[in-house]
A and B are shown apart, each in its own frame.
Chain A
């Protein structure tokens, strides 16, 4: 039983009690018109499921952040449709369904009219706040399909209101996980189970409402599916479900067919395992493609620690969130087709696949987000090797690791309040291989989420916003620039003081990496100025545009801490931006001039990072030529020689493997200079330069303020044409990331 053996990884052939009859028969002869009509009906049934859930719940978590997702699965737990909301649940929902099939089909049994509830990270969620409700759908006594949803709960217990227990050392400091339990039996809500469940929460009434919303959503989906079966017959509907999966699978395989076999890696660092900690923790991901199989592992990731961890389900969910967007976008998120070709090899007991009793209540803020960032980096490198898919390459972003702020205290009406500000949903979209990213472009893996209006915050909480705006220079520099992120500042308003619990990440180390020589997105930050003259300034009719205009002492609070803000203290925070693509000194000077005009890039950064002097092409070219000379003068690791001949395969837009007598040579695609043999790490043939981390961008913060480990920004240049081919952020002493290896055809 899974409870005794760490986390649940479903076997390829799940064991279901033979006493549970399955409806598996299907028609193979469905005309294309009926298929298209039923296909859309199924998608809409799933949408209605989600809308009903959001309507009945009415919580901002469901309606604004869309922190839920409905899905339809086959009788054996394969996804047919997954909703267009938060994508990481697509790596979790099927795990719970399969676990229930394997572990509940005998006792207490799975019957018509039942629903199961679960939030156990060892089975199929990443943190306890994300609760799943599953509904088996029967037709004429046989299990035909499942519908299921996940929904984030305001508060499900633990030592911290809101259930993000940032100082937890293990799960016993956190909400007690609930393995799958029958909450509806034969159509009746089980009062004993509901009471047990609601007793977990500080807000039992609202959790009760959310539970009803989750049940109502499943009921709507069940009715819709039964209506469809009634009209077309079970064999036709099942035939459509199978064909959706088969078509999605073949569309996925068609993409894999144009990607060469190989191995791609990513590495990232999470900072501060608990308040007061000053260390960083490495996370790793590797994807191997062989023919039609992608295998993911996280070997080499740091052992589980503090509150940083996520579960296997969370790691898998992070991968799926990215994969859905990159490789399943054209199949209405029918992710079951792709899942047939994914293998997961988790290293148990790490921050990316925690074992019981490791803490996971903060997973979405830290390690699940890291899984998304690392999967993004791996898959971007993989897709870059396929010229026909390369236009879809986009650098990591979203909100990456970011600066979360929770507030509590007495509000402007004299009542208790507590909230987590969700302005980070403004996000930032990374640079594409063909164009710039999108400033405050949101989260691609939660496409419907919306950031609150400033007025909404001010109306709801006792704060007055001084400014909320795009942060110039925050998007990673590159030939194509990453989108800028937002930042904001506020003061307490109509209250004495507000209390902060900061759940920060990506403050000390950039987390949205640059692609193809681009720079990473700027880090997030907290900044605090106490005892200011803000009251006098506002009284004089002036709103400050920066903390620097105010009197008082400045402080940079660490990523995970608590503080009390009084009325004369100003609090500023900024979100992580997205990565850039390509060498910044190849950005068109006219684009840089337009950036300055738009306020996206400062004149200082234009000169320092892009080496552009607006309006002076001669000076610009001279600066850029000098930079190329400087790079080349750093020294060539080998005798750089050009190799002629057609490319056997491309690693990326900038790197190719050319046929040579010794089995192939990796060359710079622009100048054809040989870097290394096809079987070696191409970076070993580049000129390497190790820079302080602050060189990674004007908005990359000072690491040493928060962590002890020295960090580096490493650049890798072509030894002949001096193009920057790659960048990486690494802890000093960590080996160069050997991140791309292709199988030469």
Chain B
């Protein structure tokens, strides 16, 4: 950090040097040096803050945000326009307690290895070919079949337009790598490759389902955002598995660097917490004293960091649980004076949220209520990237003359498939599947029955047909 600060000084940089944290906002470098633990795993959190930013513009209250790159698949949730948070994180056997935006990661991506076990069962992952040698099609000597190789074999990824054509791919190498698993399975290469993709998508759907159910949500109440270079080819398929009707590939080309965009769209954020367990009847004056003390600290810190008082926004929360129960939920606390009425309102909000998450009748008010902690989120608003809006009133279909053979399980095999590139698209234009949208940094599969539309902001929005439709 000091190296960067020095270099910024040399360049006469007049702005502030901010770093992203896992709590969903930025902090000045001095604060990051004081609390470096906040920086751990903050990159993927950027994807979620970007998602929240966009979700508010698009009016999507509930979003499952997925980031699929070469080696990992990261998932976070936005519920009622707010990122779903967690109070702790784990590294190895160590658990640490910081307010953070909950992002889960599994080792699954374009590099996941397809393999056949001794009982002739086909598996995908959890091992990855990594970046070097990478998938067989990279031509760096790898011969192990990966998910990316399955896409190349099936025409999902064009060998001559990967990274906009910067990395020519060896299709033959993909096919022969896949042949290595097709043979023991007694299948042709395309069927085996399609199997690899179906398994990959089923595993991802299972993970998303488990994550949402674990939080007490139903995945079909969500819109799915898909970013990261490898996401667009799979998103509609696993959305369909989960009963999700809408998929958004945010800002099309920017989807591959979405987390970076999210970081740029973040405000300065500090979270202050006072953990003092209080058991109902709650002493409103004590809650107020705790909150006021936190707010005072917040104002002082933001002021010291040069944020103008008019740019400061403070929000209060209480973490509440039932007695003898462990699920605590964080609900907003009213501003201004806190009295018995405000406490009662917070408890009521907690009971509503509890039933919403864990089902009607799962509350246990007989055991009483416990205020586990109160917190203050202090935001210092900073400038954000403005998203240009185009007129998307046209409902014209996009047109293309390009096509190639691509395998579609829904159609039972290969079909000549139109390929759309940047120059074929435009605001408001629609594409009916089967089709491929091939951009420099990402490829989006539009399945048979699905419709893809470019909206006014440049997002690709897929309406996904239901299973069996």
User: Which of B124, B209, B364 touches A48 (beta carbons < 8 Å)?
Assistant: B209
Cβ contact within 8 Å between B122 and A33: yes
- Inter-chain CA distance A203–B364, complex, in Å, is 12
- Inter-chain CA distance A455–B116, complex, in Å, is 48
- Inter-chain CA distance A37–B196, complex, in Å, is 10
Cβ contact within 8 Å between B210 and A51: yes
- Inter-chain CA distance A44–B118, complex, in Å, is 23
* Given A41-B202, A52-B213, A63-B326, A459:B364 Cβ within 8 A: no
- Inter-chain CA distance A58–B324, complex, in Å, is 8
169-214 of chain B: CB within 8 A of chain A: 185, 194-195, 198-199, 202-203, 206, 209-210, 213-214
User: Which of B118, B185, B277 touches A460 (beta carbons < 8 Å)?
Assistant: B277
Over the window 359-383 of chain B, the binary record of Cβ atoms lying under 8 Å from chain A Cβ atoms (1 yes, 0 no) is: 1011010110000100000000000
Cβ contact within 8 Å between B325 and A58: yes
User: Which of A41, A52, A59 touches B324 (beta carbons < 8 Å)?
Assistant: A59
Shortest distance from the beta carbon of B37 to any chain A beta carbon, whole Å: 16
In the complex, B279 has a CB within 8 A of chain A: yes
Interface residues on A, range: 35 or more
Interface residues on B, range: 35 or more
- Inter-chain CA distance A55–B116, complex, in Å, is 36
In the complex, B123 has a CB within 8 A of chain A: yes
Contacts of A64 in B (CB 8 A): 326
- Inter-chain CA distance A726–B372, complex, in Å, is 52
* Given A36-B122, A41-B206, A47-B210, A415:B199 Cβ within 8 A: no
- Inter-chain CA distance A48–B214, complex, in Å, is 8
Chain B residue at minimum C-beta to C-beta distance from A458: B277
- Inter-chain CA distance A64–B118, complex, in Å, is 37
- Inter-chain CA distance A24–B392, complex, in Å, is 57
Chain A residue at minimum C-beta to C-beta distance from B467: A231
Contacts of A441 in B (CB 8 A): 93
Stretch of A99-107, A205-213, A549-557 at the chain-chain interface: A205-213
Cβ contact within 8 Å between A40 and B121: no
In the complex, B337 has a CB within 8 A of chain A: no
Cβ contact within 8 Å between B95 and A206: no
- Inter-chain CA distance A203–B194, complex, in Å, is 54
Cβ contact within 8 Å between B93 and A55: no
Contacts of A206 in B (CB 8 A): 324, 364, 367
Chain B residue at minimum C-beta to C-beta distance from A209: B364
* Given A40-B206, A44-B206, A440-B93, A33:B364 Cβ within 8 A: no
238-275 of chain A: CB within 8 A of chain B: 247, 250-251, 254
**Interface secondary structure of A, over-half rule:** helix
Shortest distance from the beta carbon of A325 to any chain B beta carbon, whole Å: 17
User: Which of A41, A216, A247, A440 touches B119 (beta carbons < 8 Å)?
Assistant: A247
Contacts of B116 in A (CB 8 A): 32
Over the window 374-403 of chain A, the binary record of Cβ atoms lying under 8 Å from chain B Cβ atoms (1 yes, 0 no) is: 000000000000000000000000000000
User: Which of B95, B119, B214, B366 touches A450 (beta carbons < 8 Å)?
Assistant: B95
Contacts of B122 in A (CB 8 A): 32-33, 36
21-64 of chain A: CB within 8 A of chain B: 31-33, 35-37, 39-41, 43-44, 47-48, 51-52, 55-56, 58-60, 63-64
Cβ contact within 8 Å between A36 and B358: no
Shortest distance from the beta carbon of B376 to any chain A beta carbon, whole Å: 19
Cβ contact within 8 Å between B326 and A44: no
* Given A44-B210, A59-B325, A438:B366 Cβ within 8 A: no
In the complex, A12 has a CB within 8 A of chain B: no
Shortest distance from the beta carbon of A345 to any chain B beta carbon, whole Å: 31
Shortest distance from the beta carbon of B327 to any chain A beta carbon, whole Å: 5
In the complex, B120 has a CB within 8 A of chain A: yes
- Contact surface of A with B, Cβ cutoff 8 Å: 31-33, 35-37, 39-41, 43-44, 47-48, 51-52, 55-56, 58-60, 63-64, 154, 203, 205-206, 209, 212-213, 216, 247, 250-251, 254, 413, 415, 438, 440-442, 450, 453, 455, 459-460
8 shortest interchain CB distances as A-B pairs = A33-B195, A58-B325, A44-B206, A37-B202, A459-B277, A32-B122, A63-B326, A247-B119
A33-B199, A51-B214 known; 9 new pairs, CB 8 Å cut-off, are A33-B122, A41-B202, A55-B358, A58-B325, A58-B326, A203-B324, A205-B364, A212-B361, A251-B119
- Contact surface of B with A, Cβ cutoff 8 Å: 93, 95, 97, 116, 118-124, 185, 194-195, 198-199, 202-203, 206, 209-210, 213-214, 216, 275, 277, 279, 322, 324-327, 357-359, 361-362, 364, 366-367, 372
